């Protein structure tokens, strides 16, 4: 399988290249040049476990020389999740379920993709006889998942920047208590946007990026998206392929786009609900056709406090009949004006599958409270956004909400809503007392470059 850029001005690349790539050189995102389809008869005949399904999905996008590695790493990483079903499904009420995506090492769904991406990247680097330095900015979950996935890798070093004092203790400790020598944490005296901007500046300095072999693991990496499509498949099979609607708490549009990928692979998906918090750029775009940047609001679901949803470009590419010239014009307009307008035919295509819903803070709190009271169940605020948005589906539709994080990752919000404090799973308790290691740096690119060059 080859991968092409959504903006059409970069050469097509291989699976192995895409494994190690960020955005395409023309500024676009990589997409498979055509959609493969799953062979369901063969799949269900083999009684697959979760790891088999994940490997099957990813292999549909890979070249044959990667099949063994994908199989091997998939079995290895999903066996380490703390539930043998990996992504268990919990019934809440008639026609309503939760898909628990928080049984990985860092209690958020990002483990599903990063746990698999990390060993594949490491192997790609080994095949090429080279190393990479992954630099990532985090508002919490991505950093922890990256540390857990990359710690101890032979060919990858990791530097994670977090905004000093602006992430929860649990989130910080998940990163800073790592003992592997290839992991470094930096607290930036600034906001998440400052940290993100520093990372962008590092990559923009091409000489620096080359010298230090900078690499990214952000949610635009195709292999992350493909790995996430696997839980849509696993869920569909668990329901004997009856058509399902999924409600997906959305920030960067990665997770819900993985659902779209699943649909292209042949999974019967009726609707995808794009559930946003007050940062509603996607809800506005899908409802009105105008994708316009707004101010970022801090909410109880911080992993979704995003205004520009990178992966949305992939949907624009699809909805515009894969016409790269149209995408290029749209994205240039967006860069210049902070807004773009989706053509009516493309919007109709989007609306035939996606429903969007913007959930307010008081509604998120009310949902957490109701679920705690009626079902004796604590859910995290991101999951609560998704569950609230199921109100957009018909009562008789079968709706699965993606539970993207464990409630113990967001204890303050859960306690505020329910009066109950979620317990950290046993296996994570050591981080509460383990020694932390991190440097503090000013919000200054020269200081960061010096810090990286110094190692």
Ligand X SMILES: *Cc1c(COP(=O)(O)O)cnc(C)c1O
Catalytic residue numbers, as ranges: 110
CB closer to ligand X out of 6 and 383:
383
SS3 181: coil
Chosen residue from 382, 411, 417, 428 binding ligand X by CB under 6 A:
382
CB closer to ligand X out of 140 and 155:
140
Q: What is the closest distance, in whole angstroms, from the C-beta atom of residue 206 to ligand X in the complex?
A: 27
- Pattern 49-88, ligand X, x by CB under 6 A: ----------------------------------------
CA angle, 169 then 170 then 173, to 5°: 80
**HEC readout, 130-166:** CCEEEEEECCCHHHHHHHHHHCCCCCEEEEEEEECCC
Structure tokens at 431: 């981080």
Q: What is the closest distance, in whole angstroms, from the C-beta atom of residue 450 to ligand X in the complex?
A: 31
343 neighbors 320 (Cβ within 8 angstroms): yes
Q: What is the DSSP string of 341-405?
A: E--HHHHHHHHTTEEEEE--HHHHHHHHHHHHHHH-----HHHHHHHHGGGGS-TTS-EEEEE-B
Residues 148-187 that bind ligand X (CB under 6 A): none
Q: Contacts with ligand X: how many residues (CB under 6 A)?
A: 16
Strands 30-32 and 3-5: antiparallel
Q: How many CB atoms lie within 10 A of CB 356?
A: 23
Q: What is the closest distance, in whole angstroms, from the C-beta atom of residue 416 to ligand X in the complex?
A: 17
Residues 201-240 that bind ligand X (CB under 6 A): 219
Alpha carbons 214 and 76: distance in angstroms, whole number: 27
Name, in order, each residue with C-beta under 8 angstroms of 409's C-beta and a sequence gap of 6 or more.
102, 107, 108, 140, 141, 168, 170, 171, 380
Chosen residue from 110, 153, 172, 271 binding ligand X by CB under 6 A:
110
CB closer to ligand X out of 301 and 326:
301
Q: What is the closest distance, in whole angstroms, from the C-beta atom of residue 254 to ligand X in the complex?
A: 3
Chosen residue from 21, 171, 401, 404 binding ligand X by CB under 6 A:
404
What is the per-residue burial (b if ≥16 Cβ within 10 Å, else e) of 274-304?
bbbbbbbbbbbbbbebebeeeebeebbbbbb
CB closer to ligand X out of 15 and 257:
257
CB closer to ligand X out of 190 and 251:
251
Chosen residue from 405, 417, 448, 452 binding ligand X by CB under 6 A:
405
Q: If binding is defined by CB under 6 A, does position 422 make contact with ligand X?
A: no
Q: What is the closest distance, in whole angstroms, from the C-beta atom of residue 21 to ligand X in the complex?
A: 18
Q: If binding is defined by CB under 6 A, does position 108 make contact with ligand X?
A: yes
Residues 250-279 that bind ligand X (CB under 6 A): 250-255
Chosen residue from 123, 141, 194, 305 binding ligand X by CB under 6 A:
141
Structure tokens at 440: 């503090």
CB closer to ligand X out of 261 and 452:
261
- Residues making contact with ligand X (CB under 6 A): 108, 110, 141, 219, 249-255, 303-304, 382, 404-405
């Amino acid at each position: 399988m080859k991968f092409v850029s959504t903006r059409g001005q970069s050469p097509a690349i291989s699976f192995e290249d895409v494994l190690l790539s960020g955005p395409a050189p023309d500024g676009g995102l990589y997409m498979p040049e055509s959609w493969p389809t799953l062979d369901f008869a063969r799949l269900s005949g083999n009684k697959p476990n979760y790891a088999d399904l994940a490997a099957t999905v990813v292999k549909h996008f890979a070249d044959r020389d990667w099949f063994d590695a994908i199989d091997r790493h998939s079995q290895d990483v999903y066996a380490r999740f703390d539930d043998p079903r990996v992504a268990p499904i919990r019934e809440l009420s008639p026609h309503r379920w939760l898909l628990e995506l928080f049984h990985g090492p860092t209690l958020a769904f990002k483990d599903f993709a990063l746990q698999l991406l990390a060993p594949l990247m490491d192997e790609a680097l080994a095949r090429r006889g080279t190393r990479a330095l992954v630099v990532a900015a985090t508002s919490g979950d991505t950093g922890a998942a990256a540390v857990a996935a990359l710690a101890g890798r032979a060919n990858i070093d990791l530097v994670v920047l977090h905004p000093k004092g602006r992430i929860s203790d649990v989130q910080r400790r998940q990163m800073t208590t790592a003992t592997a020598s290839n992991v470094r944490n930096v607290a930036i005296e600034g906001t998440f946007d400052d940290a993100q901007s520093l990372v962008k500046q590092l990559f923009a300095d091409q000489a620096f990026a080359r010298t230090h072999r900078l690499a990214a693991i952000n949610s635009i990496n195709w292999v992350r998206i493909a790995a996430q499509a696997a839980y849509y498949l696993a869920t569909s099979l668990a329901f004997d392929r009856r058509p399902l609607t999924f409600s997906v708490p959305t920030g960067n549009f990665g997770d819900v786009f993985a659902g779209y990928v699943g649909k292209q692979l042949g999974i019967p998906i009726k609707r995808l609900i794009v559930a946003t918090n007050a940062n509603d750029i996607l809800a506005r775009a899908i409802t009105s056709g105008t994708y316009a940047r707004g101010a970022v609001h801090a909410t109880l679901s911080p992993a979704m406090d995003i205004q520009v949803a990178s992966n949305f470009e992939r949907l624009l590419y699809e909805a515009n009949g894969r016409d790269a010239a149209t995408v290029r014009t749209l994205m240039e307009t967006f860069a210049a004006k902070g807004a773009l307008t989706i053509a009516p035919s493309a919007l109709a295509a989007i609306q035939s599958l996606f429903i969007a819903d913007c959930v307010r803070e008081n509604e998120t709190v009310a949902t957490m409270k109701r679920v705690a009271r009626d079902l004796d169940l604590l859910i995290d605020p991101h999951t609560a956004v998704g569950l609230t948005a199921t109100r957009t589906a018909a009562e008789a539709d079968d709706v699965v909400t993606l539970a993207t994080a464990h409630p113990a990752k967001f204890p303050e919000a859960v306690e505020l809503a329910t009066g109950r404090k979620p317990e950290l799973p046993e296996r994570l308790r050591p981080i509460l007392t383990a020694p932390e290691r991190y440097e503090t740096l000013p919000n200054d690119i020269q200081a960061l470059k010096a810090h990286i060059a110094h190692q």
